[in-house]
Structure formats: structure tokens, C-alpha cells
Amino acid sequence: MRTESRANNGDLLREMAIHGQGIALLPSFIVADDLKARRLVALLPGFVGPKAGIFAIYPSRKYLSAKVRTLVDFLAAHFARRHW
């Protein structure tokens, strides 16, 4: 019998996969350490899943605080590098 579960939390899906509860399609930054430590195994290493974005949502550019601008700039630079 085939069953399917869904979750919108990558950490939860990662934990479930580690504990033998099935397979998961997760971004490399969530599972890189687990793959290195062999807690998880890549089943389809050449497969490229659907692209997904990361969005910073804030009220208005007109009154954007320096703190929010700094955070957005940091996130853009951090996720532009594929260091994981």
C-alpha cells in the first residue's frame, strides 16, 4: 500500500528521512551535513528538482529601515553563493 505525507517544514522532513520514515526532496543546504556524515543517501544525485525562491517581504521600500536593508542584502549575498 502506498502512502504519501507532505509537510512544509524542511527540518521535519529531514528528521523523518533520517529516522527511516521515507524519502524526501530537500534542498542541499538542509541535508549537506547529513549527506557528508552518511546519515542520508542521495537517491537520484543527478536529479534537479523544481526551482524555488526565497523571499524577503517588508512593508514598503519608501520607508525601509537600514536594519531591514542590511538583512536583505546579507541574505541575497549569502544565498547567491553555493557553499553548501
For residue range 20-73, list pLDDT tens digits in order: 999 999 988 899 999 999 999 999 988 888 877 778 888 887 888 899 999 999
Residues 11 and 26 in one domain: yes
Task: Based on the fold, state whether residues 38 and 3 are members of the same structural domain.
Answer: yes
Residues 25 and 57 in one domain: no
Query: Are the CB atoms for 50 and 57 separated by under 8 Å?
Result: no
> How far is 44 from 60, CA to CA, in rounded Å?
42
Does residue 15 register a pLDDT over 90?
yes
Amino acid at 56: A
Q: Identify the pLDDT of residue 64.
A: 86
Q: What is the pLDDT of residue 83?
A: 59
What's the domain range around 31?
1-48
Q: Mark whether 37 and 59 lie in a shared domain.
A: no
Judge if 43 and 65 occupy the same domain: no
pTM of structure: 0.61
Domain count within the chain: 2
Q: Quick one: pLDDT at residue 14?
A: 97
Terminal Cα distance for the chain, rounded: 36
Are 69 and 39 members of one domain?
A: no
